[in-house]
Amino acid sequence: MSKISQTGSSTPGFGYFFYHYVWMVIDVFYPPVCSGCEKPGIRWCDECNSKVQIIKAPFCQVCGTPLQRGGSCDECREHPPQFDRLRSLAVFGGPLRTALHGLKYRRDQGIAEILAAPLINIVDREAWEFDIIVPVPLSKPHLRERGYNQAEMIARPLALGLKKPCVVDAVIRSKETSSQVALSPAERYANLQDAFSANPAKLKGRNVLLLDDVATTGATLNSCSKALKDAGAKTVLCLTVAKTLRKGNVASVG
Ligand SMILES: [Zn+2]
Ligand SMILES: [Zn+2]
């Protein structure tokens, strides 16, 4: 099991450390509990960290699903996705699932910058080159209800760490698509059609890192990527903290 920490070759700038210190000051005034197990005094404890199943190679070079050997998976060969790449830090489960649910539904925002740090390592490892970071948006009613976008909470410190602009108005979401899991692939496609619309002025000719908290079926990222490409984005590289694995895709997690 790999430690969730930032050890890559990118040198985060002043803004990244300032953001981090702001959260450390908040911790002094509002003592945190672990986002995975509610242990007091720390936002993310070693025990929860040790239970995170990091996704390691070999995996599908397109969608990042663990495989027995490299290359691309059947799904990507038969139905090539709209995005160019998808990588995820870890399997969606255990304390990481609890932490991501807390970020999404219980305003546990302090965990976001902790989860952003290891994503810098993935960008380094993959040698990704891109111009802007775009968090997958929420629809306006959803954003009003929740008060913040959990993907943006992760994208902001990531952008500071990678010294790239975080652009939140490049794409909007006109309908919410949260109940994707129970749908068939055809229903998912229909459900997601025209869910996103992107702004060509922000995207034409740009290489985009599209960030979300979890990739469940990949359909949301796929649909959002299509909108970005339709608006002129050259490449779309998707990055998520967690990924739901289909049965049998457990070859290389550890
Ligand atoms: Zn814990
Ligand atoms: Zn694949």
Task: Quote the number of domains for the chain.
Answer: 1
36: CA distance to ligand 1 center in Å?
A: 4
| Domain region containing 202 | 14-243
- Give me ligand 1 centre to Cα 40, in Å: 9
Give 195 Cα–ligand 2 centroid separation in angstroms. Answer: 23
| 9 has pLDDT over 80 | no
Residue 248 lies in a domain: no
Domain annotation covers residue 145: yes
- What pLDDT is attached to residue 132? 98
Q: CA 151 to CA 214: how far, in whole Å?
A: 9
* DSSP-assigned letter for residue 248: T
Domain membership flag for residue 165: yes
Provide the H-helix boundaries in the chain. Answer: 14-29, 46-50, 74-78, 94-105, 111-126, 140-146, 150-162, 185-192, 200-203, 219-230
Q: Which two tokens stand for residue 8?
A: 């890559």
251 found inside a domain:
no
CATH of the domain at 163: 3.40.50.2020
Q: What is the pLDDT of residue 19?
A: 83
For ligand 1, the distance from its centroid to the CA atom of residue 39, given in whole angstroms, is 6
CA of 108 to the centre of ligand 2 (A): 32
Cα-atom radius of gyration of the chain, to the nearest Å? 17
- Above 60 in pLDDT, residue 134? yes
Q: Per the domain annotation, does 9 fall within a domain?
A: no
Domain assignment present for residue 217? The answer is yes
Q: What is the pLDDT of residue 187?
A: 74
Distance (Å, whole) CA 181 – CA 187: 10
Region 129-136 average pLDDT: 98
Q: How far is the CA of 222 from the centre of ligand 1 (A)?
A: 33
- The β-bridge relationship of strands 171-173 and 196-198 is antiparallel
Residue 5, in any domain of the structure: no
Residue 199 lies in a domain: yes
Q: What separation in Å is there between the alpha carbon of 181 and the centre of ligand 2?
A: 18
Instruction: Place 194 in a pLDDT band, splitting at 50, 70 and 90.
Output: confident
Relative to the alpha carbon of 47, which ligand is closest?
A: 1
Please, is 234 exposed, middle or buried when counting C-beta atoms within 10 Å of its C-beta (0-12, 13-18, 19+)?
A: middle
Q: Report pLDDT for 107.
A: 83
Whether the per-residue pLDDT at 112 is higher than 60: the answer is yes
Question: Quick check: pTM over 0.85?
Answer: yes
The answer to whether residue 249 scores a pLDDT higher than 90 is no
Question: Could you tell me the CA-to-CA distances from 44 to 1, 47, 98 in Å, in that order?
Answer: 16, 9, 11
